[in-house]
Amino acid sequence: MLRAIVEVINDGVDVLSLSISPSDPNPMFAEVDKHDVKAIGSFHAVAKGITVVFAAGNVGPDPQTVANVAPWIISAAATTIDRSFPMPVTLGNNNTLPGQAMFVGKEVGFTGLVYPEGPELFPTAYGTGKLKCMAVCDWLGYHHSGIPVVVICFTTEPGQEQIASAVSAVRSAGGVGVIIARNPSNLLVACSNDFPCIVVDNELGTEIMFYIQLSTSKTLKGKPVSSKVAKFSARGPNSIAPAILKPSVAAPGVSILAASSYDPAMDGGFALLSGTSMATPHIAGIVALLKSLRPDWSPAAIKSALATTAWKTDPFGEPIFADGAAQKLADPFDYGGGLLNLNKAANPGLIRYGHQ
């Protein structure tokens, strides 16, 4: 990596976007490690006038998990986007519930809806006390093989592999769709666009479950979409130097349409990806725009402008929340200076230039 940074310094770039963070953010030393090539290399880049943006890491929401905390770099936290991919779910009583999906095929008409129950849903392999998505779908394959039903799965798992496996299991068992109930409900990575897979939050999932059990449900209204700090986004305070705020700023990093080369079957070579690695290029792009507008600004000036003008509320004036074990109001240890605000960053009023 150090050689790569040296090459970009020689190339004379204006901004360096590095979607890289360690899986273990805990430092080995109480100060900047002289063997940390990311910190040392980025120091030399910043000294040459290059603004460096690093991913803050994806091991949140516990405190002191933020990585890449060198004071001369911008550490990117991730937020959800203030947009949704709406997909309605209409129940047999004609109540329509708001979900999210990327499915682009034909509409699934009214069909059976299954929420399996019973002790077979809690085999040792899946643990006890939690309804596991894979256990539900294994039950479907055993009891309803070949019957065209939609199955609702609840999951508390943070990853995507389990949900992708559940979708595959429902399809293989002859099901025609999956409803995934989870919090947060805006991670769509595991739902493919060629099979009906809708994500709802646990509240709506519970409403659907009660509808199945009681054949009644209240009419629900959709909630406004606002930005939140993603659950996975690594949190401060800075474990090496608590007085230096990290992460630096936050940018969209959930369900971002990104170029992908990992799945050759992916339509058009794009996929929805999530992580602070997705937030990093958002910030780097804004840095490039600022540099073109203010070519005399140093990396310290750009970092200062971004942090001091960032939103502490969302663009609609509503509070920014942070996803975690329990949702809470976001604070600087969640989003650093706040959510990026490009228009204000161009005219911050007061900036810190720093010294070479």
- At 104, which CATH number? 3.50.30.30
- Determine if residue 286 is left, alpha or beta; phi over 0 gives left, psi from -120 to 50 gives alpha, anything else beta: alpha
Same domain, 100 and 188: yes
Both 176 and 238 in one domain: the answer is no
Q: What is the pLDDT of residue 204?
A: 78
Residues 6+ apart with CB under 8 A from 45: 5, 8, 9, 16, 52
Q: Which of 279, 271, 281 is nearest to 254 (CA)?
A: 279
Tokens 């025609």, located at residue: 176
Angle formed by the axes of helices 133-143 and 161-172, nearest 10°:
10
The token pair at 167 is 């979708």
What pLDDT was estimated at residue 97? 72
Same domain, 178 and 286: no
Q: Please list the pLDDT of the chain residue by residue as tens digits (356 residues).
A: 788 888 988 999 999 999 988 766 665 555 556 667 888 899 999 999 999 999 999 998 999 999 898 899 999 999 988 776 666 677 777 777 766 666 656 666 666 677 655 444 333 344 443 444 555 555 555 555 555 777 777 776 655 666 677 777 777 777 777 777 877 655 555 566 667 777 787 777 777 777 766 554 333 344 456 788 998 999 989 888 888 899 999 999 988 888 877 555 555 677 778 899 999 999 999 999 999 999 999 999 999 999 999 999 877 777 888 888 777 889 999 999 999 998 899 888 877 666 55
* Per-residue exposure over 190-226, b if at least 16 CB sit within 10 Å of its own CB, e if not: bbbeebbbbbbbbebbebbbebbeeeebeeeeeeebb
| Same domain assignment for residues 70 and 190 | no
- Does one domain contain both 133 and 207? yes
**Tokens 């005399």 map to which residue?**
296
* Residue 41, domain member (yes or no): yes
pLDDT at 219: 35
pLDDT at 218: 35
* 100/169 same-domain check: yes
Shared domain for 233 and 296, answered yes or no, is: yes
Phi then psi dihedrals of residue 97, to 5 deg = -110, 145
Local structure of 349: helix, strand or coil: coil
Is 352 a domain residue?
no
Considering the domain boundaries, does residue 114 fall inside one? yes
What's the rounded Cα separation, in Å, for the pair 67 and 22?
7
Is residue 163 located within the same domain as residue 208?
Answer: yes
Domain count, the chain: 2
3-state DSSP call for residue 181? strand
Record the tokens describing residue 146, joined without a space.
């070949």
**Under 8 Å between Cβ of 319 and 313:** yes
Same domain for 292 and 249, yes or no, is yes
Range of the domain at 170: 86-214
Residue 354 lies in a domain: no
- Residues 70, 93, single domain; the answer is no
Residue 220 lies in a domain: no
Q: Could you tell me how far CA 136 lies from the centroid of its own chain?
A: 26
At 86 the pLDDT is: 64
If asked whether residues 250 and 290 sit together in one domain, one would say yes
Residue type, 21: S
Domain annotation covers residue 221: no
The verdict on residue 268 lying in a domain is: no
* Residue carrying the six token digits 């979900």: 99
Domain check: are 94 and 202 in the same one?
yes
Could you give the count of Cα atoms lying within 13 Å of 206 in the half-sphere of its Cβ?
A: 4
